[in-house]
Homo-oligomer: A and B are copies of this chain.
Amino acid sequence: MPTIKDVAREAGVSIATVSYVLNNKAASISEETRLRVLEAITRMNYKADVTARNLRAQRTRLIGYAWHEEKPGLQNAILSQFIYRLAKAAEACGYHVLTFTFPTGDPVSAYDEMIRTRRVDAFIVADTVENDPRIQFLIERRFPFASFGRANPLWDFNWVDTDGTSGVRAAVAHLVALGHRKIAMVTWPENGLTGYYRVLGYQQGLADANIAFRDNYILRGEQGIELGRSALAHFLSLSADDLPTAIVTVSDLIAVGVIQEAEQRGLEVGKDLSVIGFDDEPMSRYLRPPLTTVSQPLETICTELINMLNAQVHEQQEKTSQVLLTPHLVERASTGAPRRP
């Protein structure tokens, strides 16, 4: 591998000159030598050693992303799309994404290690939980990071999030427009922030249409498909008059469960029962019927996150920013007018 010295020798100049050419330093290099150096560079197929550059510049151009242990069946395909888009957005700014893992019990020390060894310039945190200890830690440490997801309304840090409230609200509005009045919801356990905002959207959507909120129309649980199945079973066990005609869920996976159970019980989804998911996973358009769902604007999320990092790292900006992105509803065939409104 040629170094800057080799190029300098080849071009008959000093290494400083090569460096100037490399970095387009205004320190005006004569066109003649510039070309000579450039020619030597291409001839030797030279590229600057990034480690040496980084040592000199005291940065790594690396963004840390902690890879989450996936609980079987619980995770969605969204995260893997997310990291792909993140890598792309990072590359557009000359960064790369360095992945690492952390033990479930102790999320913080893996981040700490990365900071102390100066492995990365910043972090992207995703899949956050309420009062996420990683975020608390990074705030205290005053280390640059941006989060996909909120953690605590009182904490001041950079985050981007999908506005789950408006997403679910739009979902409910869509159902109401179709003529539904008996709309149930399936969501995660009570302690999560993401679920909280989505339930809020559900309640707002009902309120918009002057529909009373009923406790027995909301069901909570952990596991995606299973949850969807048991949720529908639960709703169908209500008295005939109370049977919901539509079900809003907080993930496509849950919606899949609802659809499976419905088909098995001979209900035609989209006709007898309307179902809405959340995420717009790649497979959702291929379900039968294709799933109406709320689409997460992943690409925008990622570019926003990277922008925040840039603002923080480069421009030493102290002010944090928060971005709430309105998702859009993708109307497909799993929703339709109720049979008996």
Q: Which residues of A contact B (CB under 8 A)?
A: 1, 45, 47-52, 54-55, 60, 62, 67-70, 72-75, 77, 79-81, 83-84, 87-88, 91, 96-101, 113, 116-119, 223-226, 229, 253, 257, 260-261, 263-264, 282-283, 285-288
Contact = CB atoms under 8 A, between A and B. Distances in A.
Most chain B Cβ neighbours within 10 Å, of A229, A283, A287: A283
Contacts of A67: 83-84, 87
Given A97-B99, A117-B47, A264 B283 contact: no
22 contacts: A1-B116, A47-B113, A50-B117, A52-B55, A55-B55, A67-B87, A70-B80, A70-B282, A73-B282, A75-B77, A80-B80, A91-B100, A96-B99, A96-B100, A97-B98, A97-B100, A223-B286, A224-B283, A225-B286, A226-B286, A253-B283, A261-B288
Interface centre among A52, A81, A84, A223 (most CB of B within 10 A): A84
Given A80-B79, A223-B286, A286-B226, A100 B87 contact: yes
Given A48-B117, A91-B100, A118-B1, A70 B62 contact: no
Given A50-B117, A70-B80, A72-B285, 4 more contacts: A51-B60, A87-B101, A98-B98, A257-B286
